[in-house]
């Protein structure tokens, strides 16, 4: 083993490491300093030279129900206005609104209305009243496995399945004799984690605002997860966005009360409000939107933006 | 094997029992290894239709239903390199302290205990720490920097442990020879100890990279985002104060939230993640084997 | 300082390129530089202690307000009702989550301990050198699989498999999570267990074999008792790993607040609850603080487990 040459290069390496470290520390200080997220893309000159040196970014955070949609918008908008970069993240409506209150979001996506308490908090934190924009609609569909013979259900029955003191626990109570492939008569409830807009909206319209869900449901992490799980579990029932249907599941017709004819969720039934579990999708800005945000929101509400709503499986605004 | 003594039934039974035990224990060991091969094989098989270089180097598009994993992969690279830059010097120097400076005392004992405990802290608790300390308290916001710092602290014990082992493998006589010609402690470390243990240190560093690349929980709340559009082919597309996508988080997202994607997409993402982690680990293993073959003392 | 003993005399002469004798030729800057550097090294040395305390401090800091101001500890530990976002009756009982964590961990250990120790004994005592190298490499690679990949395997592969094989209605359950955790914690058991067995002096083995004992008799009567503490530590470290695991259990156990009655019931763990709900909770809200308190609980559990493991190992060193 030769030591001397090794030693030399190692000493140099160490010096370089030191320089690197101090650079890191510098970057650390800079990173902590610049909280405002006007990012710089270094060496922005791409081959076609179209990318500008400075990009403004819009933080768009919130509802998981809307995250697909928000992301499709963000992606398409990059072709409309390349100077703006839109950062989308999900996590639930609560996350978005929390981010709005914490001043980390420029636009919060929410699949439910802002609670008055949240509006107060936002006002206290930002000093402005949040502005609300309806950007589309969503029908919350009730899914069962495709082998389930049931095809209609009422809001009361749904509530009795999901409510904390609800009595419906067996498929036979609903008149379903046998589900091929199901290993038991138990209704397996698939739900969402308690921060999601879907969870809170389902509680509001089906379970009852003052009630709680029965413990023991499978609380999935995303809208897709719910449908996937129902598709893999013959005895399951779940609720999720209309746009998430797959060939493995069946969408149930829903009636307001038992005995009434069930309504299939569709663009028409959501618009005329005959489908009982549909809701508007909101975007909130901390105050009056800034120019760039305003331009983005206008584009979302335009025909081009609304076409994407339809393409992603949601319900566009009525014309 | 020929037996010198006559085979009594007792000896035969003993030998049979021994063989049975060997087979049973061997099967137990295999039962731990077979899943690895099955898993890798199955994932690759399901991912096959999508696997290509294009998949690695294009951005996810169409609501993450099409395209590849580039922006997530690049994000992971950023997180890993920044966390490495922080963890490697601190970890190596900590190991140098423990092995070369510290005397056997209560302090050393507590440090060693702290290293073990740091390794044992659940990843989600590291996430809480990163959120509380870096994102909120230090005011870094959710950013690559905050996430990398969290990862760095989480993976520090990996580097400390393997560096310590590498340093301890350098014979004391090497140091003594050096001290005898008048070198100071640090000169000895720099001139003799570190160069002679560099391969072992590198192994630890590589293992840190592999660990950091696979983690999801610590970055979920400190810097990883659901989606971010970046320029393809530009390796400087993120900056330290940005949030970024990450491969592990991307796999979680498309498994739980993205619908209508081709069946192979999550599998292909898993294969890219698993492939890069296993590749990095394989490097560490090769380095170690080579080092062992070359070692002369 | 755990340096190896000094080797035989006659190592080749060494030359040190940078090492000049201590004395007037060393510049003051060099001496100063070195002492600064030594302080940096000392600081790095104690950094692990600082970080452990830092983690405890910052996690506690976020949750302490609610821990001493509002949280009912009785309810927290002994109620199974976890309704952090209820609009009518907020309840923060984590008993079901604790039971969930320990049921998954317990079952995982039931699977992992025999296999892990069996594999450790095989690798250390029964195997040729070449096999040992190969097995150890594969086990090391097994340890490298990221937990989110395990979770993905749990959702997409094990879920239908468990439904099929055991004829149960839900595939995301205790068993699914436990199988994943077993595979994840076995590598650490094998490597620590093997170290413990290797630490038993060869003279023990030789004495036993010379008495005419078979290898297995040697293992059972001599090695296992001698390596008892090290093996116990291996198991404890496996337990620590399993308790703290997040992504795999988040995806594979079904995430249902539920006291399991069989291995086929879905459950929810402490770690998964934090991962699923932290994103939503607005900073400083009671729900957010409770999640940090759960973090402290987890920290305490794993700290205790690791501390006991360490004491047990130190016990070996003494004995």
Reading phi first (left if > 0) and then psi (alpha if -120 to 50, else beta), residue C254 is in left
Residue C21 placed within a domain: no
**DSSP-derived 3-state class of residue B58:** coil
pLDDT, average across residues C147-169:
92
Task: Establish if B279 belongs to a structural domain.
Answer: yes
Q: Which of C14, C142, C147 comes nearest B174 by C-beta?
A: C14
Question: What mean pLDDT is reported for chain C?
Answer: 87
Q: Which of the two residues, A92 and A232, has the higher pLDDT score?
A: A232
What is d(CA A48, CA B289) in angstroms, rounded to the nearest whole number?
A: 47
C20-41 per-residue burial string, b: 16 or more CB within 10 A, e: under 16: beeeeeeeeeeeeebeebbeeb
Residue A290, Cβ neighbours under 10 Å: how many?
14
Q: Is A172 in CB contact (< 8 Å) with chain B?
A: no
CB of A183 within 8 A of CB of C169? yes
Q: Looking at beta carbons, which residues of chain B come within 8 Å of C13?
A: 177
The answer to whether residue C91 is domain-embedded is yes
Instruction: Say if the Cβ atoms of C216 and B18 lie within 8 Å.
Output: yes
All residues of chain C having their beta carbon less than 8 Å from the beta carbon of residue B120 are: 237, 240-241, 244, 302-303, 305-306
pLDDT number for residue A241: 84
CB distance A194–C277 less than 8 Å? yes
- Answer whether A41 sits within 8 Å of B237, measured CB to CB: yes
Query: By C-alpha distance, which of C38, C42, C30, C11 is closest to B196?
Result: C11
The whole-number average pLDDT for the span C36-45 is: 91
Q: How many contacts (CB atoms, under 8 Å) link B and C?
A: 324
Domain residues for the domain of B149 are: 53-293
Interface test with C, best of A8, A187, A201, A219 (most C CBs within 10 A): A219
Rounded to the nearest angstrom, the minimum Cα separation between B33 and chain C is: 6
Averaged over C244-262, what is the pLDDT? 93
Supply the ipTM of this predicted assembly: 0.90
pLDDT of residue C11: 38
Residue B199 lies in a domain: yes
Contact C84 A188 (CB under 8 A): no
The whole-model pTM stands at 0.84
In a domain, B122, yes or no: yes
- Token duo for residue C25: 């030729």
Residue B82 located in a structural domain: yes
Which tens digits make up the pLDDT trace of C79-125?
999 999 888 889 999 999 999 999 999 999 999 999 999 999 999 98
Residue B141 is nearest to which of A30, A35, A71, comparing CB atoms? A35
Residues A188, A143: contact at Cβ < 8 Å? no
Can you state the angle between helices B264-294 and C129-144, rounded to 10 degrees?
A: 140
In a domain, C16, yes or no: no
C291 is in which domain, residue-wise? 82-318
For B181-191, write each residue's pLDDT tens digit: 888 888 889 88
> pLDDT category, C57, cuts 50, 70, 90?
very high
In a domain, B23, yes or no: no
Q: Quote the pLDDT of residue B82.
A: 95
Q: Is residue C254 part of a domain?
A: yes
Q: Does B94 touch chain A if contact means CB atoms closer than 8 Å?
A: no
Which pLDDT value is given to residue C317? 52
* Closest CA–CA distance from residue A257 to any residue of chain B (Å): 31
Q: How high is the pLDDT of residue C315? A: 67
Contact C169 A212 (CB under 8 A): no
From residue C65, give the alpha-carbon distance in Å to each of B130, C285, C286, C288, C294: 19, 10, 9, 11, 14
Q: Is residue A10 scored above 70 in pLDDT? A: no
Q: Which of A46-55, C41-50, C57-66 has the lowest mean pLDDT?
A: A46-55
Q: What's the whole-number mean pLDDT along residues A224-245? A: 90
Buried b / exposed e over A197-220, threshold 16 CB at 10 Å, is bbbbbbbbbbbeeebbbbbbbbbb
- Give the per-residue pLDDT at C112: 94
Residues in A touching C283 (Cβ below 8 Å): 98, 102
Give per-10-residue mean pLDDT for chain B (297 aa). 65 85 88 86 93 88 82 94 94 93 88 92 95 92 93 94 90 89 87 88 89 92 83 84 91 84 90 94 87 69
Tally of domains in chain B = 1
For residues C250-259, give the mean pLDDT.
Answer: 92
Distance CA C257, CA C298 (A): 18
A99-123 pLDDT per residue, tens: 899 888 899 999 888 889 899 999 9
So what's the pLDDT on residue B295? 66
C-beta atoms of B239 and A51 within 8 A: no
Per-residue pLDDT of C121-152, as tens digits, reads: 999 988 888 888 888 888 888 989 999 999 99
Least confident range of A54-63, A239-248, A263-272, C18-27: C18-27
CATH number of C257's domain: 1.10.3720.10
Residue C54 predicted with pLDDT over 50: yes
Residue C297 belongs to a domain:
yes
- CA–CA separation, A224 and A245 (whole Å): 9
What pLDDT is recorded for position C27? 80
Considering only CB atoms, which chain C residues are within 8 Å of A102?
282-283
Instruction: Please list every residue in chain A whose beta carbon sits closer than 8 Å to the beta carbon of residue C250.
Output: 221
Segment C258-270 shows an average pLDDT of: 94
Task: Judge whether B5 lies within some domain.
Answer: no
C56 within some domain: no
Mean of per-residue pLDDT scores for chain A: 80
3-state class of A143 per DSSP?
A: strand
pLDDT at B30: 85
Give start and end residues of each alpha helix (H) in chain B. Answer: 9-47, 53-57, 70-96, 106-120, 123-130, 144-168, 172-180, 185-188, 194-214, 217-220, 247-256, 264-294
Phi, psi dihedral angles at A134 (to 5 degrees): -90, 125
pLDDT above 90: residue A145? yes
In chain C, what is the straight-line distance between the N-terminal and C-terminal CA atoms, in Å? 20
The answer to the question of residue C53 being in a domain is no
Chains with 3+ CB–CB pairs under 8 A to C are A, B
Domain count, chain C: 1
**C-alpha closest to that of B229 among B61, B53, B65:** B61
Condensed to tens digits (0 to 9), the pLDDT of residues A195-220 reads: 777 888 899 889 988 899 998 899 99
Which residue, C285, C162, C171, C304, is CA-closest to C244?
C304
Please check whether residue C195 touches A, CB under 8 A.
Answer: no
Element (H, E) at A232: helix A223-232
Residues C209-242: tens digit of each pLDDT: 898 888 888 999 999 999 998 899 999 999 999 9
What CATH number does residue B156 fall under?
A: 1.10.3720.10
Confidence of residue A63 (pLDDT cuts 50, 70, 90): confident
Residue C70 lies in a domain: no
Partners of residue A35 in chain B, C-beta under 8 Å: 139, 141
């Amino acid at each position: 083993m030769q030591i001397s040459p090794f030693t030399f290069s190692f000493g140099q390496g160490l010096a370089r490491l030191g320089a690197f470290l101090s650079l890191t520390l510098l970057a650390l200080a800079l990173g902590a300093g610049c909280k405002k997220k006007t990012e710089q893309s270094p060496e922005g000159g791409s081959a076609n030279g179209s990318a500008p040196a400075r990009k403004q970014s819009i933080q768009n955070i919130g509802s998981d129900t809307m995250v697909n949609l928000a992301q499709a918008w963000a992606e398409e908008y990059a072709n409309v206005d390349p100077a703006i970069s839109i950062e989308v993240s999900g996590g639930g409506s609560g996350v978005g609104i929390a981010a709005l209150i914490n001043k980390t979001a420029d636009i919060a996506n929410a699949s439910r209305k802002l609670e008055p308490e949240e509006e107060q908090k936002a006002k206290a934190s930002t000093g402005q009243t949040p502005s609300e924009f309806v950007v589309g609609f969503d029908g919350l569909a009730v899914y069962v496995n495709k082998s389930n013979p049931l095809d209609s259900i009422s809001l009361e029955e749904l509530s009795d399945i999901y409510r904390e003191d609800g009595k419906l626990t067996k498929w036979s109570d609903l008149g379903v004799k046998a589900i091929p492939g199901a290993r038991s008569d138990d209704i397996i409830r698939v739900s969402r984690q308690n921060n999601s807009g879907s969870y809170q909206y389902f509680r509001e319209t089906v379970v009852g605002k003052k009630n709680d869900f029965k413990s023991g449901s499978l609380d999935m992490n995303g809208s897709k997860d719910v449908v996937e799980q129902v598709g893999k579990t013959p005895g399951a029932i779940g609720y999720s966005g209309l746009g998430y249907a797959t060939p493995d599941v069946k969408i149930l017709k829903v009636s307001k009360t038992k005995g009434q004819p069930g309504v299939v969720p569709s663009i028409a039934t959501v618009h005329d409000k005959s489908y009982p579990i549909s809701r508007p999708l909101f975007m909130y800005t901390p105050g009056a939107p800034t120019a760039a945000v305003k331009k983005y929101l206008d584009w979302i509400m335009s025909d081009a933006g609304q076409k994407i709503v339809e393409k992603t499986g949601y319900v566009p605004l009525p014309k | 094997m020929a037996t010198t003594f006559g085979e009594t039934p007792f000896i035969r039974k003993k030998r049979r029992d021994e063989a049975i035990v060997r087979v049973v224990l061997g099967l137990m060991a295999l039962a731990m290894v077979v899943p690895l091969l099955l898993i890798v094989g199955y994932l690759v098989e399901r991912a096959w239709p999508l696997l290509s270089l294009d998949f690695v180097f294009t951005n996810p598009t169409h609501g993450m239903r099409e395209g590849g994993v580039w922006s997530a992969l690049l994000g992971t690279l950023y997180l890993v390199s920044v966390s490495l830059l922080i963890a490697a010097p601190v970890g190596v120097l900590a190991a140098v302290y423990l092995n070369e400076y510290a005397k056997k005392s209560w302090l050393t004992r507590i440090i060693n205990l702290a290293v073990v405990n740091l390794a044992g802290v659940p990843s989600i608790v590291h996430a809480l720490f990163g959120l509380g300390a870096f994102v909120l308290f230090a005011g870094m916001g959710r950013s690559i920097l905050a996430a990398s710092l969290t990862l760095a602290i989480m993976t520090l014990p990996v580097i400390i442990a393997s560096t310590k082992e590498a340093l301890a493998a350098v014979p004391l006589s090497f140091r003594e020879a050096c001290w005898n010609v008048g070198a100071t402690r640090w000169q000895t470390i720099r001139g003799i100890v570190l160069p002679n243990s560099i391969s072992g240190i590198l192994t630890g560093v590589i293992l840190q990279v592999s660990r950091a690349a696979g983690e999801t929980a610590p970055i979920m709340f400190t810097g990883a985002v659901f989606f971010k559009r970046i320029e393809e082919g530009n390796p400087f597309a993120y900056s330290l104060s940005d949030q970024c996508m990450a491969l592990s988080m991307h796999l979680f997202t498309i498994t739980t939230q993205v619908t209508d994607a081709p069946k192979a997409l999550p599998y292909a993402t898993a294969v890219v993640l698993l492939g890069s982690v296993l590749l990095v680990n394989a490097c560490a293993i090769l380095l170690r084997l080579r080092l062992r073959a070359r070692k002369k003392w | 300082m755990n340096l190896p003993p000094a080797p035989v005399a006659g190592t080749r002469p060494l030359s040190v390129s940078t090492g000049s004798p201590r004395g007037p030729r060393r510049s003051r800057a060099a001496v100063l530089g070195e002492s600064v550097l030594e302080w940096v090294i000392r600081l790095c040395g104690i950094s692990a202690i600082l970080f452990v305390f830092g983690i405890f401090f910052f996690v506690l800091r976020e949750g302490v307000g609610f821990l001493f101001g509002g949280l009912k500890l009785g309810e927290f530990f002994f109620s199974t009702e976890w309704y952090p976002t209820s609009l009518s009756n907020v309840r923060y009982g984590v008993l079901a989550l604790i039971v969930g964590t320990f049921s998954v961990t317990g079952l995982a250990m039931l699977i992992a301990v025999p296999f892990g120790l069996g594999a450790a004994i095989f690798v250390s005592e029964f195997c040729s050198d070449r096999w040992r190298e190969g097995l150890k490499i594969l086990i090391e690679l097994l340890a490298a699989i990221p937990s989110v990949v395990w979770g993905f395997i749990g959702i997409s592969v094990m879920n239908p498999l468990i439904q099929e094989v055991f004829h149960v209605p839900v595939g995301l359950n205790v068993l699914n999570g436990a199988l994943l955790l077993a595979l994840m914690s076995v590598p650490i058991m094998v490597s620590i267990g093997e170290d413990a067995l290797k630490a038993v002096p060869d003279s023990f083995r030789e004495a036993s074999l010379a008495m005419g004992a078979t290898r297995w008799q040697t293992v059972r009567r001599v090695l296992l008792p001698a390596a008892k503490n090290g093996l116990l530590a291996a198991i404890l470290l496996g337990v620590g790993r399993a308790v703290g695991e997040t992504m795999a259990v988040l995806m594979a156990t079904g995430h249902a607040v539920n006291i399991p009655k069989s291995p086929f019931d879905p459950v929810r763990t402490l770690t998964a609850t934090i991962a699923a709900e932290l994103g939503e909770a607005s900073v400083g809200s009671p729900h957010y603080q409770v999640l940090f308190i759960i973090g402290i609980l987890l920290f305490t559990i794993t700290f205790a487990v690791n501390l006991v493991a360490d004491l047990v190992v130190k016990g070996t060193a003494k004995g």
